[in-house]
A and B are shown apart, each in its own frame.
Chain A
Amino acid sequence: MKTQSKLYFYLSISAILLAIIAVWSLSTGVYNFNGASPYKVLWEVVKGNENISPSDTYVIWDVRAARIVMAILIGSMLAVSGTGLQGLFKNPLATGDLIGLTSGATLLAAIAIVLGGHFKQYLPEVVQFSLVGISAFIGAFLSMMLVYRISTSGGKTNVVMMLLTGVAITAIGFSITGFLIYISKDEQLRDLTFWNLGSLAAATWTKNIVLVIVLIISYIVLIPKGKALNAMMLGEKDAQHLGINVEKLKKEIIIVVALMVGTSVAFSGTIGFVGLIVPYILRLLFKSDYTFILPLSAVCGSILLLTGDTFSRSIVEPSELPIGILTALMGGPIFIAILIKFKKSL
């Protein structure tokens, strides 16, 4: 098979799998549609049948469908941002959470939650509404800049430096979040805990629209960069010789990744390791060919997060397990596997 048609083949297979999981997820939940099948109810809602009870409409459309779509969008963006970063840093350990991006985003989001009330009134209304989201993006962007500046010299990124910078940012984030926990009220405290473990429970269609816009912009920039990232693996000088504007490529990836991680954190809290697990598995299957794994990670990230989220909201009902717990549980062992594999080159 030609590379291109092979890619389309795998993309279609994963898309079908994603669709199957979405169908399964749609039927999962504690609400009972008076014995009717959720699919039928959804179909009636889509058709605009007004005889469906408002509660049924609400649960199937605004609760379950919105949440499924959000899991698909965020899973996809987290995985793609992980793959993009790994290409940029030429290292399988580079992901938003390990190099401190997520932590930076979470920290500024936490500050906005606890202290936002004090300065909210001085801000324009548009900003007030999305204060937490904007703060998360700024947090992700600043961390990204910091990691990149500290760990890169002469066009080469030192992996150990990169991870240690991530550790430092995470430590700073942790301590300041700790301080915020200390000064926060009981109810803010619980919100922060929830925030730190991630959840898709607050999914709405408005948020999904914002996510779709961010996703489209980011993918238009990032997905065609497969060839350039492949060339980057040869080293920056060689890539330059192949006609790639390395500096521009780096800047674009940094901004797009910060945008995706920041927005995801803003809407779902910290969901770690998706950006590590997905590219890792894809690399096992297809080697490090970014023209392949960039588009595939977009679909496989959705598969992973949607599966995880469906479990998280069904195994301890009526409550739910924060999704971050599940992804970290899966990601930890893979992190160790990568460490062992790359023991010598670190």
Chain B
Amino acid sequence: MKKIILVASILLAVASCKKAESAKQENTAETNASQTPKTNNKIVTLNGGITEIVSALGHEKEIVGTDVTSTYPETLKATAKDLGHVRSMTIEPIMAVNPTLILASDKDINPELLGKIKSSGIKTEIFKQEYSVEGTKKLIEQVAKAIGNTDYQKLNDKIDADLKQVQPIAKKPKVLFIYARGNMLMVSGTKTPMDALIGLAGGQNAVTEFEDFKPLTPEAVVKANPDVLFFFSSGLQGAGGNEGALKMPGVSQTNAGKNKKIIAMDGGLVSGFGPRLGEAAVGLNKLLIENTK
């Protein structure tokens, strides 16, 4: 009897899943229909900066899928499918949007997904992303070539024009970037987008002892003694706003804590290193000037 019940319940479970499945497939069919492309290319971009470049070159309509860091332009939300984070993404959802071209950066894509993408036979360009003005210009040029658009100079010119508006700051403020997500707090060392942007905006990174991101320790914060604390807007909000930031271990001992100098900018704008690089530098430059008076 026991065995019969077991077998029956397994069969039942399988049958009910099938039903759910067929319902889901109908859904997928609908989404695909609403995404009928308007041009020949169907592009999947797996990096916020690259997404911005493709859009700024006027090919926004050709983007059919993006990763989670592609938050700009916001209109993309309606037309491109969000495929999630490149580290946990799998190949089938990418194939499901039927791309003809996949654009990604070498920095964040996980090796297994990269292997799968390469063997899928879809035309793929993996770009090396360098966090500098020259690197960004090179990236813009490469992305433009990949999508068959030669009219990219105007984007590079705009970056130069924007950067000219950056005001020099006589005494470079020490800026500590804190990457806050939930309870995890990381500070950014050298060779990070934030390190590069802080430099472009006329400040100096308060942390130069290590590369990449490391967990924040109270002693390290006190030792770094930043003049300004710098967050992603979303991160600062998640950490409990300015109040929350001031309560972080060690912060009250620093110049930034004593003078309550806390600034925040949009994460996509700050870390994208795309066509809005100049804009981001000018924005940060203004905030730094206001907060070091």
Q: Are A58 and B121 in contact (CB under 8 A)?
A: yes
Mark the stretch among B2-10, B138-146, B249-257 that contacts chain A.
B2-10
Q: Are A314 and B88 in contact (CB under 8 A)?
A: no
Q: With A58-B121, A185-B212 given, is the CB distance from A318 to B84 under 8 Å?
A: yes
Which chain A residues numbered 191 to 237 have a C-beta less than 8 Å away from chain B? 191, 194, 201-202, 204
Q: Are A32 and B89 in contact (CB under 8 A)?
A: no
Q: Are A319 and B89 in contact (CB under 8 A)?
A: yes
> How many residues of B sit at the interface, in one of the four size bands?
35 or more
Q: Are A285 and B3 in contact (CB under 8 A)?
A: yes
- For A35, the chain B residues whose CB sits under 8 A away are 29
Q: Are A24 and B98 in contact (CB under 8 A)?
A: no
- For B111, the chain A residues whose CB sits under 8 A away are 191
Which of B18, B29, B108 touches A24 (beta carbons < 8 Å)? B18
Q: Are A24 and B96 in contact (CB under 8 A)?
A: no
In the complex, A42 has a CB within 8 A of chain B? no
Output the least CB separation between B83 and chain A (Å). 5
Bound Cα distance A182, B214 (Å): 8
In the complex, B220 has a CB within 8 A of chain A? no
Interface string of B1-43 (1 = CB under 8 A from A): 0110011001100100110010011001100100000000000
Q: Are A59 and B10 in contact (CB under 8 A)?
A: no
Q: Are A187 and B107 in contact (CB under 8 A)?
A: yes
Q: Are B21 and A28 in contact (CB under 8 A)?
A: yes
In the complex, B81 has a CB within 8 A of chain A? yes
Residues of B within 8 A of A (CB): 2-3, 6-7, 10-11, 14, 17-18, 21, 24-25, 28-29, 32, 81-85, 87-93, 95-96, 98, 107-108, 110-113, 115-116, 119-122, 212-213, 215
Residues of A within 8 A of B (CB): 13, 17, 20-21, 24, 27-32, 35, 54-55, 58-59, 62-64, 182, 185-187, 190-191, 194, 201-202, 204, 281, 284-285, 307, 310-311, 313-314, 317-320
* Interface pairs (24), CB distance under 8 Å: A17-B11, A30-B93, A30-B96, A31-B92, A32-B32, A59-B95, A62-B119, A62-B120, A185-B212, A186-B213, A190-B110, A194-B110, A201-B91, A201-B112, A201-B113, A310-B17, A317-B93, A318-B82, A318-B90, A318-B93, A319-B84, A319-B88, A319-B89, A319-B93
